[in-house]
């Protein structure tokens, strides 16, 4: 694995994170990327080369990508499909062609139409965020997250074992699924929720008064369930245009369930309304928080801080001087905590546990959830 050549087409949040992880894991690997815009230097690719993540940037796929042992398609889903035809005439027979797209059906169909089944293994890391671009990439992004693999009927054991090991090496959890099952599952747990978040935000935008009181007061629950509305519009447009049938199936069911709630408000049907919230609460509470779920586990702690200048800096210094890296830090205000608390997110379980011990020694009040 150590001396492989890997190529990237699309080098944003996911492509950049995979490349960062591979660079850390395999210092001797050759990592190359494609700049599709020949006339304009690509700042992200140049930065990655400066950081010695990438060895080479190519503006012509036929020059650099023929040597690749594995090629990651990491652009929006429809764009990934557009590259298949060109790659077919370039890649070597042993090359694994994989993608990271959120939808698998269309790319599998295109692969079969082009007779690329022996090379292609679909991939979908169930990790990410609402933040796009190489600037937000991180070598640990995939850690503890499921990484779905959708082999074809012609995928060899050798190729599947190769990518399976690579995913494991990156700290992710490989999970082999049929591509149609994949598209149905992610429509329910990822694609429809993104549509709901975006349409809810748009509803509030449309309903707000001229003095924008709704925008000013939007907090807590609203911000919790709409974080993903900040995601890349082009990425989600592509997802809707490709996983259309599964998304529409769940979305139509969801609309019916909202209509039932609306009717119960008219009646009003007390029992039905209670049941809606009770059933949802029970199922939501059964979804593991601390165990590994479909998304990467979040290693976070909450603590009370004194409202004075330098309070956050003091905590950051305590952690940094003990070599504990912070992934994210910020004050949150919600009803659960009455006053504001500081939320600190760590990269892994170990650093989160170390931080809890350390900060308790400094007499901070920690809330573990």
Ligand X SMILES: NC(=O)C1=CN([C@@H]2O[C@H](COP(=O)(O)OP(=O)(O)OC[C@H]3O[C@@H](n4cnc5c(N)ncnc54)[C@H](O)[C@@H]3O)[C@@H](O)[C@H]2O)C=CC1
Ligand Y SMILES: O=C(O)C(=O)Cc1ccc(O)cc1
Residues that bind ligand Y (CB under 6 A): 102, 126, 128-130, 190, 228, 295
Count of residues interacting with ligand X (CB under 6 A): 25
Which of residues 198 and 356 has its CB atom nearest to ligand X in the complex?
Answer: 198
Among the listed ranges 94-102, 109-117, 210-218, 324-332, the one in contact with ligand X (CB under 6 A) is 94-102
The answer to whether 257 touches 264, Cβ cutoff 8 Å, is no
Categorise residue 108: left if φ over 0, alpha if ψ from -120 to 50, beta otherwise: alpha
- Which one, 135 or 320, has the nearer CB to ligand X? 135
Identify what 9 binds: ligand Y, ligand X, none; CB under 5 to 8 Å per kind. Answer: ligand X
* Both structure tokens of 81: 């499909």
Q: Which long-range contacts (CB under 8 A, 24 or more apart) does 329-333 make?
A: 331/305, 332/302, 333/219, 333/220
125 touching ligand X, by CB under 6 A: yes
133 is a site residue for ligand X (CB under 6 A): yes
SS3 241: helix
Is there binding between residue 77 and ligand X (CB under 6 A)? yes
Q: How far is the CB of 39 from ligand Y (least distance, A)?
A: 31
Rule CB under 6 A: choose which of 59, 79, 94, 244 binds ligand X.
79
Which partner from the list ligand X, ligand Y, none does 10 bind, CB cut-off 5 to 8 Å by kind? ligand X
Task: Give the up-direction half-sphere exposure of residue 318: CA atoms within 13 A in the CB hemisphere.
Answer: 18
* Stretch (H or E) spanning 344: strand 341-346
- Of these partners, ligand X, ligand Y, none, which one is at the site of residue 76 (CB under 5 to 8 Å by kind)? ligand X
Binding partner selected for residue 190 from ligand X, ligand Y, none, CB under the kind-specific 5 to 8 Å limit = ligand Y
* 12 contacts ligand X (rule: CB under 6 A): yes
Pick from ligand Y, ligand X, none: which does 228 bind, CB < 5 to 8 A by kind? ligand Y
Q: Which stretch binds ligand X (CB under 6 A): 22-30, 47-55, 68-76, 156-164?
A: 68-76
Minimum CB separation of residue 264 from ligand Y in Å reads 30
Residue number of the CB closest to ligand Y reads: 102
Binding-site partner at residue 77 among ligand X, ligand Y, none, CB < 5 to 8 Å by type = ligand X
Give the one entry of ligand Y, ligand X, none that residue 75 binds, where binding means its C-beta sits below a cut-off of 5 to 8 angstroms depending on kind: ligand X
Contacts with 122 (C-beta within 8 Å, 6 or more apart), sequence order: 98, 99, 101, 104, 107, 108, 148, 149, 150, 151, 179, 182
Backbone angles phi, psi at 133, to 5 degrees: 90, 155
Q: Which does 345 bind (CB under 5 to 8 A by kind): ligand X, ligand Y, none?
A: none
CA distances from 226 to 187, 194, 231, 234, 368 (A): 17, 8, 10, 18, 24
Q: Which of residues 277-296 bind ligand X (CB under 6 A)?
A: none
Phi, psi of 85 (to 5 degrees): -60, -45
Measured CA to CA in angstroms, residue 368 lies from 6, 298, 343, 351, 356 at distances of 40, 12, 10, 14, 9
81 interacts with ligand X by CB under 6 A = no
- Closest contact distance (angstroms) between CB of 285 and ligand Y is 19
Residues 121 and 161: beta-carbon distance below 8 Å: no
**Distance separating alpha carbons of residues 267 and 260, to the nearest angstrom:** 11
In a 13 Å sphere around the CA of 353, the CA atoms on its Cβ side amount to 4
Q: For residue 117, count CB atoms less than 10 angstroms from its CB and return exposed for 0-12, middle for 13-18, buried for 19 or more.
A: middle
Interacting residue ranges for ligand X, rule: CB under 6 A: 9-15, 36, 74-77, 79, 100-102, 124-125, 128-129, 132-133, 232, 235, 239
């Amino acid at each position: 694995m150590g001396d492989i050549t890997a190529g990237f087409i699309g080098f944003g949040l996911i492509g950049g994170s995979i490349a960062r992880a591979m660079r850390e894991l395999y210092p001797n690997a050759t990592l190359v990327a494609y700049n599709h815009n020949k006339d304009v230097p690509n700042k992200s690719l140049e930065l990655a080369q400066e950081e010695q993540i990438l060895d080479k940037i190519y503006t012509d796929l036929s020059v650099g990508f023929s040597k690749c042992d594995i090629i990651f398609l990491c652009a929006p889903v429809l764009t990934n499909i557009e590259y298949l035809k060109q790659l077919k005439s370039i890649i070597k027979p042993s090359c694994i062609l994989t993608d990271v797209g959120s939808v698998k059906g269309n790319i599998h169909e295109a692969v079969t139409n082009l007779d690329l089944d022996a090379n292609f293994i679909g991939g979908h890391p169930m990790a990410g965020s609402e933040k796009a671009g190489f600037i937000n990439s991180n070598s640990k992004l995939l850690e503890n997250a499921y990484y779905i693999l959708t082999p074809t009927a012609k995928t060899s054991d050798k190729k599947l074992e190769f990518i399976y090991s690579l995913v494991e090496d990156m700290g992710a959890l490989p999970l082999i699924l049929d591509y149609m099952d994949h598209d149905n599952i992610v429509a329910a747990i990822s694609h429809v929720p993104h549509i709901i978040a975006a349409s809810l935000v748009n509803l509030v935008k449309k309903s707000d008064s001229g003095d924008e009181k709704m925008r000013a007061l939007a907090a807590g629950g609203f911000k919790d369930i709409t974080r993903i509305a900040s995601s890349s519009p082009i990425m989600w447009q592509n997802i809707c245009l490709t996983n259309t049938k599964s998304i529409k199936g769940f979305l139509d069911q969801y609309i019916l369930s909202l209509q039932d709630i609306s009717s119960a408000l008219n009646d009003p049907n007390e029992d039905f309304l209670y049941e809606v919230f009770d059933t949802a609460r029970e199922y939501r509470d059964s979804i593991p928080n601390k165990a590994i779920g479909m998304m990467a586990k979040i290693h976070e702690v909450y603590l009370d801080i004194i409202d004075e200048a330098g309070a956050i800096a003091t905590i950051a210094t305590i952690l940094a001087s003990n070599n504990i890296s912070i992934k994210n830090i910020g004050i949150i205000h919600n009803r659960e905590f009455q006053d504001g608390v500081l939320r600190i997110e760590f990269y892994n379980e170990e650093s989160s546990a170390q931080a809890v011990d350390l900060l308790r020694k400094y007499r901070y009040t920690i809330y573990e959830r």
